[in-house]
Structure 1
Amino acid sequence: RLIIRNGNNVDAPPVYDSYEVEYLPIEGLLSTGHHFFIELTTDSSGAAAGMALRYEAFEQGHCYEPFVKYGNFTASDPRYPVGTTVEFSCDPGYTLEQGSTIIECVDPNDPQWNETEPACRAVCSGELTDAAGVVLSPNWPEAYGKGQDCIWGLHVEEDKRVMLDVRVLRLGTGDVLTFYDGDDLTARILGQYTGARGRFKLYASTADVTVQFQSDPGAGAFTYRQGFVIHFSEVPRNDTCPELPDIANGWKTSSQPELLHGTVVTYHCYPGFQLAGTDLLMCHWDLTWSGDLPSCERVTSCRDPGDAEHSRRVVSSPKFPVGATVQYVCDKGYVLAGAGTLTCHDRAAGGPKWSDRLPKCIPETYEPCHNPGVPAGGRQSPERRLYPAGATLRFSCAAGRALLGEGSLHCLPGHPSRWSGSPPICKAASYDEFYSNRNLD
């Protein structure tokens, strides 16, 4: 509870009691003497926002110095004697309410202002025709009310267009702020927002913008500095997007010389640098670019060199920084063609590079086996001069001869390749052996 008493003790008569009147008068309070006694009592909840009071002493025979929150004034005499006039103005985004724009110090016997000071408030709705200005949420920076539907019209010179710089945007989840690219609510929506967002800009295509704010009628209590602050200004109307700057350690190309709607600008990086961000920016129909400017950052690692078929690899570091190695080991039956270990090296010109190309694992080749010879009285199948590794050579004997030894030999791969055994011989059979074998046949 706040009580302000017209005197210097607790028994002085009150001129303000918060239990009886919620808000202090806009024009303030004036004591009849040299004292005000301020009494503040609080409960244990600790939920109140607090208070702030401004006080001022002034000379007898003069008016007190005026005050207007969120505004300024000019005075014909800074000492405020009788006859002084004061003219008030509000800060951008605020409107004068509840009082006169000009007041005068009157009554030589009891000097006082002929009108109360006006109040500057951020109001709901309005038509703004200046080349630049500010739109504030109602009551900013105090909380806006629930269930509000406010509309502001922004109008600049016909040969210009409107730029919106949304510097503060903190709304409740059920509150909506909408920007229309035209002078009514049927125009194309430039953007629609709820909740909180960082600073951003919008560009209209015409000289008129309509701003609509709707707050949730069922919302709870709003907080201080919850709302929005929008600065607007007129900017040249043209048919091209603004020129995009070059980027360090890179260059850009454009799909056409004039930066008209639909033009695509592509950014590239010099060797040794890689692009961070999008490489393509498009000029939108509202003459804004589709994204933020990218940058070229120094490359500090090699690209993944890849896998070699029929092999496994051993990697020293998965991100391949300078100094990393990759070792390739071929599967069984394959031999390495190329460097078995690649190392990532840094270069003064260009980015890091591998020490060699990706190797290959090729099938291992072996020397052939030479014909071991045909046994006397025998035959070979097949009969040739050289036999590839893995080939089989079979032997047989002519009639009347017996095979002694292995009937087939295998060419075992190696360096050199060799036969699995010695070739057999064909021995002449005895009379009994010969006829015994024939009977068996």
Structure 2
Amino acid sequence: SCATPHSNILIHHTNKTMFMPEDTIEYTCLEGYKTANNTPTGTTRCGINGEWSPTPQCLAIECEMLTLPNGNFSPKKGRYRNGEVVKFTCASKYVRVGSASAQCYHFGWFPSPPVCKVNARGCGPPPEITNGSIAGDPVEQYQHGDSVQYECNIEFKLVGSKEIECVDGQWSSSPSCIEDKMPCGSPSSIPNVVLRQEDHAQFSHGDEVICGCKRGSGNSKEMKIKCLNGEWKPLPLCADPSPQCVPPLTVELVDNGRLSKPKKETRSHGVIRYRCRSGGRTVKQATCVSGKWSPEIECTAEESTCPPPPQVPGAQEITIGRNYKNGSKITFSCLESFQLIGANEITCIEGKWQSPPYCVERSCLPPQPIECADVPRLENQNFKSKKEGKTIYLAGARFKYVSRSGYILDGPSEITCSKGNWTSAPTCMEMPCGSIPKVANTQIEGRNKEIYEPGETIRYQCDAGFLIVGPPEIICREGNWTAPPFCE
């Protein structure tokens, strides 16, 4: 028998501590480790000698050291562990084109290192998007590193990063504006808002309501708001006028296109225009509501931001934005023929993303037998596993059919598990028959041939003076003739 493998392997689907020969188990490695063939799960089988085959292994995930001509990166190491982040800088008189940092994952570095160029090209006007427009006034020419923000028409919802950047003559991916018709919660849950009509826990997309502010917390006039894609627009600003807002140190205030002196505080409902000190020339706007900025000011120190999130093989592509501050979350979903293994959401924590999930091709149930072949033989035992007590086969598992005597297979004899289904199985064909059996003192009806197709018949006739014994006809079946008669 085989004992439970080493403790750094997590065994799934069984609580057993002792295994008999031919028992198969599936295991996964702890975060930061991978199986020997770089897959999310490994499979091993107990052999008759009491040892697991192949030997379960969990290897530390490591990335090679990077290179950056005309630039530098830190920290510098020979090898990097899973999750480590490297930051890039370019030499004097060189411009960085690409991400400012990269992270080590089980599949390598993401994103790729930037390029340090003497000159980076500018961009023309940013692309237009359907049902949306650029916030502010666009210009004809932008420099490398400039960014612009999009906003959707009032009835549409923005999907993707609202901000795009000019990178060496090309704009990063634009967002899209969709109508998803999500319902809205009650407006009475918004601070200091009072509904002037019948309240409900939920309102449908397109519903309009009349509301106002509590006494002493803003405009006393009634206002009409509409539920659009899960949000109330325009959002009623009802707040206690006493709390004030302080602009964070990460921003520079802008007035009529020029930098203005920092304000100690801004009164409620006061509006500021600002840009981030950390880079970029986009001028944004925020309103002070109940002591908080709306929308929230998104200028975080570069040290605490995460690199662009990873693109997981087999998953839906992620629209990458510019800055991912501490606490930002990214959700993954796999393509139709893949299955998600691990948590579908990762969070940016202190400049690093949590380990992303895997997308693996869907597994297959045992293949169906075919009439003329023996039970198919599994060509690669490592792709066999157990799930909820049932045997399953992972993507890449191969079975080979072996035909029984008298039959041949039409089509490939091997089938492979791919995207949750087996490739086409072969069909059965009876073998043809060769020359007919010779019987003394007989003649056959018809023409004599070298090959006879399955199902063909031959009729014997005895010579004069002889009597036939047995059925006069023989049939070609499974490559052989049925027993012939004789003449006496």
What is the TM-score of this pair, normalised by structure 1?
0.28
| TM-score, length basis structure 2 | 0.26
